[in-house]
Amino acid sequence: MKRTALAALLLAPSLASAQAGATCPALNDADLAWTQRNGDDYTLCYLELPSAIATGKGLGVYLGARSFKPDKKARAEKGTVGTQVVTWYKKATVNDARPYSRETTIVLPGEKPKSKVRVYVWIDAATQSQLDEAFALAKKLSVK
């Protein structure tokens, strides 16, 4: 419980401004860089896997108000995004082209009991090694 509260406190300041064009989470590796796109009420961040540049495989983060609901029947494994423990779910892909893709959501506390700020994190991976690489990147996310 304490760990989740700490993660929420670390993530909340940046995510609270997601609707006003927040920046992507900090990365603990100077060789990596997000591709960022800001909308009216969201920020999308995408990071290609270093081993699979230009193949469309990587890690993405959505910061905003839209709600995403992973298929609870598709539960895959426990993991972490930054310091927060999450449950990863198998993500459906067209023609099952990326069978190792995963997704999870993080709901942060806000001014209201049910925060309007949502964090959706996804991984596009076609192999177990790409999934492992993306899991390692997800653990390194740092939002300040």
* pLDDT above 70: residue 128: yes
With 0-12 / 13-18 / 19 or more C-beta atoms within 10 angstroms meaning exposed / middle / buried, residue 11 is buried
Q: Work out whether the CA dihedral 53, 56, 58, 63 comes out positive or negative.
A: positive
Q: Which residues of 120-135 are buried (b: 16+ CB within 10 A; e: fewer)?
A: bbbbbbbeeebbebbb
**87 DSSP 8-state letter:** E
* pLDDT above 70: residue 110: no
* pLDDT above 80: residue 9: no
Which range in 63-72, 106-115, 125-134 is most confidently predicted, on average pLDDT? 125-134
Q: In terms of pLDDT, which residue wins out, 1 or 99?
A: 99
To the nearest whole number, what is the mean pLDDT of the chain? 77
Over residues 97-119, the mean pLDDT reads: 73
Q: Over pLDDT 90: what percentage of the chain?
A: 28
For residue range 39-91, list pLDDT tens digits in order.
888 899 999 888 877 677 899 999 888 878 888 788 889 999 888 888 999 98
* pLDDT above 90: residue 116: no
